[in-house]
Structure 1
Amino acid sequence: MSTNFTPPTERRLFGIGLALLAYFMFTGIDSSAKWLGMVGVSFIQIVFLRYFIHLLMVAAIHLPRHGTALVRTGSIRLQGLRALALLGSTACNFLAVQYLPLTVTGSIAFTVPLLICALSVPMLGEKVGWRRWTAIGVGFLGVLVIVRPGTDAFHPAALLSLLGALSTAFYMLFTRRVSGFDSAATSQFYVGIFATICLLPIVPFFWSWPSTADGWFAFFAVGVFGFVGHQLITMASGLAPATVLAPFAYFQIFFMAAASWFIFHQPPDVWLYVGAPIVIASGLYIWLRERKLAKPVVSIANEA
């Protein structure tokens, strides 16, 4: 009898640990992007670095193992749409974090499961009952509490952040479809190659080199955090079902709050403490309904 058997409970706990580490990495993406913006690097260049470094790491790690199989896909069209959706999400988010605290952009990102639920009706032909529609509405009321439109506290960048969340929702829905015929490595490759090709013609016009050690660290970290985070969440998904991992994505708000407070000296304001729990509670309710109805659950982390 083999002595290497790992009890399912331990595998799930390890998967949860990897997922939490992935969410820490995703916070590192936004923190690096915000820091690069503060030291004068264009957000176009920041987005390019995020995907170009990601592409180099995917190629270095997966090409020797998979060879040409890495680039074979069941649908280049769906992979392209998926990559463009994530590129749009990243661009919106990286621009938004230059003007908003990470806690605000992170809280708005938690509307992704609400948007996925709403979009599943026209895109997947699913039926959404009045309970989940109510949860969607309540969740967006929470967003209004956070951004407070019509007041002096409102910044138009909040709309960019919301548009980024919408793009992420499309990305998640496309991911659900391509996962049926392409490996995670192939999907990561196409995310990197499409974004790099799209930005390569224009990024030289916005290019600048960091002039400080912390700027150089963020220069490379924005891509490394992205690649490692995606690798960890893929590994976690192989150890624990999505229904187990999904709620732990909300722990990212603690990582965002810590980074915002200690790195950028932007502590959360009182309205975030009111609005964020409303958004999170709405997302958790939808997760519970999806689980009860035995529908697929997708990641709700901010993976820009």
Structure 2
Amino acid sequence: MNASPQSSSRRTDRPLLAIGLRLMAMVMLSTMFMLIRLAGREGVSAPEMVFWRQAMAVPLMGGWLLATGRLSLLRTKRLRSHAMRATTGTVGLVCNVTAAMLLPLPVGTTLGFTAPLFAVLITALVMREHVGPWRWTAVTLGFLGVLLITRPGQQDIPLAGLAAGLGAGVIVAIVSFQIRDLGRTEQPITCVFWFSFFGALFASVLLPFYGQAHEPYVWLLLVAVGLAGTLAQLLVTAALRFGAVATVVVMDYSALIWATVYERTVFGAMPPASIWLGAPLIIAAGLIITWREHYLARRISPTSALDEGATEEIAGDAAVPQPR
């Protein structure tokens, strides 16, 4: 029997290495969003930012595959599915970029943790699958945390930023279902490459309207955004080759630490006090959902952990961190 894309991507179990790689991935993602915010302050628009983020990843990944003799991994018979996933994922990336520009980094990062909550809602309300009391309790806790952070009417959080942050959570929940389908036939690097390729292609339509000349410093920021994002994707992929999803996914919440550090050291501000009330509830909700999904998957099939790993591995950074 031929090895599936999922099983071929996992070669050995080294949990400490996997955790270290996932932590590094969160550092790179947090760095990317910090750079996005800096570039936004220099006048770079969200559509332009998305284009350069995606466009720079294409030659980086293509060159790496060519140098390692693995260019054949880009062959696919599912270009239409990749294009549909890229359409949804690019919208999610626009939401993430907008949130990074408009919100304090810790707030935007924490709102990104709501993806598992929306995944549960989609599972119950759209797919009509059974959702038990554990996950409903987690959803309630999570959205209570959102209310504590935003405190409607009492806190100066831009409405557009709040909508973008929560929109990113909705999009990554939708993308997770698309990725689960792609992961049944496609290699992780194949999905990440075509996501970046089609994402850059779609964003290029808006480039004539939003693109503009920049100072060398700003171009360096845009290059750094592309490098940080691509490296984060590769680190996420590597982490899941050495450890199971249940082992590494908890490390995603370390992004809140780096976001807070960058907010204080780079932007000279501290996150609103309300985040320390709401963030623990959102994180607890995500952990409950992750544990419950892993528990149910193990009951259904002993190979489900590999399926979960493939889903996480090819997710990209359209909506990250993304524990389910």
Return closer, same or farther for 1:31/1:154 CA change in 2, 3 Å cut-off: closer
Contact 2:39 2:222 in 1 (8 A): yes
1:196 maps to 2:200: yes
Do structure 1's residue 92 and structure 2's residue 111 form an aligned pair? no
User: Identity of paired residues, percent?
Assistant: 27
TM-score of the two chains, using structure 2 as the length reference: 0.84
Partner of 2:82: 79
What SS does the corresponding residue of 1:190 show, helix, strand or coil?
helix
> CA 1:200–1:181 in 2, change beyond 3 Å: closer, same or farther?
same
Mapped partners of 1:266, 1:158: distance in 2? 19
Query: CA 1:125 to 1:14, structure 2 compared with 1: closer, same or farther past 3 Å?
Result: farther
SS in 2 for 1:173: helix
Change (3 A) 1:152 1:238: closer
Change in CA separation of 1:242 and 1:274 when aligned onto 2, cut-off 3 Å? same
Counterpart CA distance in 2 for 1:292 and 1:199 is: 39
Contact 1:252/1:301, CA 8 A, preserved across alignment: no
The one-letter code matched in structure 2 to 1:302 is: P
Deviation at 1:200?
Answer: 1.4
In the superposition, relative to structure 1, how do residues 164 and 57 fare at CA in structure 2: closer, same or farther (>3 Å)? same
Structure 2 gaps of 5+ residues are 1-10, 299-304, 313-318
Separation of aligned partners in 1, 2:76 and 2:70: 10
- Of 21, 26, 34 in structure 2, the residue corresponding to residue 23 of structure 1 is 26
Partner of 2:114: 111
Counterpart of 2:228 in structure 1: which amino acid? F
1:207 aligned to which of 207, 211, 216: 211
Contact kept in structure 2, 1:82 and 1:170, CA below 8 Å = no
- Find 1:175's aligned residue among 174, 179, 197: 179
Q: TM-score, normalised by structure 1?
A: 0.90
**Structure 1 unaligned spans of 5+:** 1-5
Q: Paired residues, what number?
A: 294
Distance 2:200 2:22 in 1: 27
1:129 paired with 2:148, answer: no
2-structure distance, mates of 1:179, 1:202: 30
Cα distance change on mapping 1:221 and 1:124 into 2, 3 Å: farther
Decide whether aligned partners of structure 1 residues 229 and 152 sit closer, same or farther in structure 2, where only a CA change above 3 A counts.
Answer: closer
2:315 equivalent in structure 1: none
Deviations 1:43-81 (A, max 9, x none): 2111101100011211111245233541314x3333222
Comparing 25-34 and 59-68, the one that deviates more: 59-68
AA in 2 matched with 1:241: A
Check whether the contact 2:85–2:178 (CA below 8 A) recurs between aligned residues. yes
- Per the alignment, residue 284 of structure 2 pairs with 281
Once the two structures are superposed, what CA deviation does each residue of 1:17-48 show, in whole Å capped at 9, x if it has no partner?
A: 00100111111221111111001112211110
Verify: 1:302 aligned to 2:305, yes or no.
no
1:263 to 266, 271, 279: 266
Summarize deviations over 1:247-291 as a string: whole Å, max 9, x none: 111111101111111111221121000010110011111122222
Q: Kindly state the Cα deviation for residue 123 of structure 1 after the two structures are TM-superposed.
A: 6.0
Distance 1:123 1:81 in 2: 19
State how 1:200-239 maps to structure 2 within 5 Å: 200-211=204-215, 213=217, 215-239=218-242
1:174 CA drift (Å)? 1.5
Q: For residue 122 of structure 1, report the CA deviation from its aligned partner.
A: 5.4
Structure 1 residue matching 2:101: 3-state secondary structure: coil
Give the Cα separation in 2 of the matches to 1:57 and 1:40: 26
1:251 to 234, 254, 279: 254
Q: Contact 2:92–2:172 (CA<8 Å) still a contact in 1?
A: yes
Distance 2:25 2:73 in 1: 26
